[in-house]
Amino acid sequence: MVLNFAHRGSLTEAPENTLPAFQKAIDHGTQAIELDIQLTKDQQLVVCHDHNLSRFNSRSKKPIKEMTLKEIKAIDLSSKFNTDFPQTTLVTLSEVLALCPNHIKINIEIKNIPVIYEGIEEKLIECLSAHNRFHNIIISSFDHLALKKVQDMVPSMPIGMLFYYRILQPWKYAKQSGLVVTSIHPNQVYTDRLFVEQCKSFGYQVFPYTVNKIERYEELVEYGVDGVFSNNPAIFMKS
Ligand code: G3P
Ligand code: CA
C-alpha cells in the first residue's frame, strides 16, 4: 500500500499550488496532496513554493514576505495556462482546507529557508484549529526547528523530516533530534534500497520527492518506499 502525493496539486495541468491545481488532483482521485506555505506581510498563510512570484509573472519581483494578501491576490499566475485558467491567483491555506475533502491527506510544507517566517508555526496551528482539520495532515519542512515548534504545540502531529543534501545516516540524525518523526522525505536522487531499509529499521516511513518517471517510481516502490511526491498524474493517481 503506497500513498502518493500530488506535488503542489497537479502542476502540469494548472498553475502550481492554486485551487485549480488541487481540484485537478482531486478529480484524478488522488489520496494525497502536497503544498508549501509562507507568510505575507500582513501575516496571512499563503500557499506558494517560491519566495517571490517572478517565475509566474515577470513583473512581480517583490518577496512574498513584503506583500500583503491583497497585493498578492491582484497578481495573475495563469500566464502558462492562460486559456484554461484566467485570473488564477495564490490562495490561502484556509482556502485549500475548505476545498480539500477530509479523506485526502495533506502534506503541508513550511517553506522556511532561506527566508525564516517567525511565528508561521503558530499561524499554521491556528488555521488547522479554525478548520478543525488535524486529521490526515502531515507537517514537513527542511527547517527542522520549525518542525520542533509544531511538535511542541501539537505533540500528536505527524512530522515529515525533509532532507535536500545527501547527509550521513539521516535516520540516526532523526532519532537523535529529539523529535518524534513519522516519515523521512529524502531527495529521490540518492534514495536507494539501503537508504530505505535503514529508515525502515529505525521505524520511519519514507516518501521521496519528486518522482516523475514511472520506471523510477516502480524501482522506489520495489525498494519499499511508502509513497512519493509526484508531478505526474499517472503516478499520484496510483495512491
Ligand atoms: O515536500 C516535498 C518537496 O516538495 C520538497 O521540495 O522544493 O519541491 O518544495 P520542493
Ligand atoms: Ca514542497
Task: Give the chain's domain count.
Answer: 1
Confidence of residue 56 (pLDDT cuts 50, 70, 90): confident
| For ion ligand 2, residues whose CB falls within 5 Å | 36, 109
- In the prediction, which pLDDT does 81 show? 76
- Give residue 94's Cα distance to chain centre: 15
What was the pLDDT predicted at 28? Answer: 97
Q: Is 185 marked active-site?
A: no
Q: Predicted confidence band at 80 (pLDDT cuts at 50, 70, 90)? A: confident
Q: Among residues 76, 51, 50, 75, which one has the least CA distance to residue 63? A: 51
Question: Domain span at residue 188?
Answer: 5-236
CATH for 209: 3.20.20.190
Q: Is 34 in the pocket of ligand 1 (CB under 6 A)?
A: yes
**What is the per-residue pLDDT for 225?**
98
Residue nearest to atom 5 of ligand 1 (CA): 209
Asked if residue 196 has pLDDT above 90, the reply is yes
- Which atom of ligand 1 is closest in space to residue 7's alpha carbon? 4
Nearest protein CA to atom 10 of ligand 1, as residue: 49
Question: Does residue 8 line the site of ligand 1, with CB under 6 A?
Answer: no
The CA-CA-CA angle for residues 163, 165, 167, to 5°, reads 90
160 backbone dihedrals φ, ψ, rounded to 5°? -110, 120
Give the pLDDT confidence score for residue 239 in this predicted structure. Answer: 73
Rounded percentage of the chain residues whose pLDDT exceeds 70:
100
Question: 63 pLDDT band (50/70/90 cuts)?
Answer: very high
pLDDT at 71: 96
**Which residue lies with its CA nearest to atom 3 of ligand 1?**
209
Please determine, for residue 21, whether its predicted confidence score (pLDDT) is greater than 80.
Answer: yes
73 lines ligand 1 (CB under 6 A): no
Identify the three-state secondary structure at position 156: coil
pLDDT by residue (tens digit) across 103-145? 999 999 999 999 999 999 999 999 999 999 999 999 999 999 9
Threshold 0.85, pTM exceeds: yes
Residue 198 Cα to ligand 1 middle (Å): 22
Sign of CA dihedral 114, 179, 183, 10: negative
Reply yes or no on whether 144 is catalytic. no
Q: Which of 38, 50, 107, 109 to mutate to test the pocket of ligand 1 (most atoms within 8 A of CB)?
A: 109
pLDDT above 80 for 82: no
Side chain identity at 205, as an amino acid letter?
A: Q
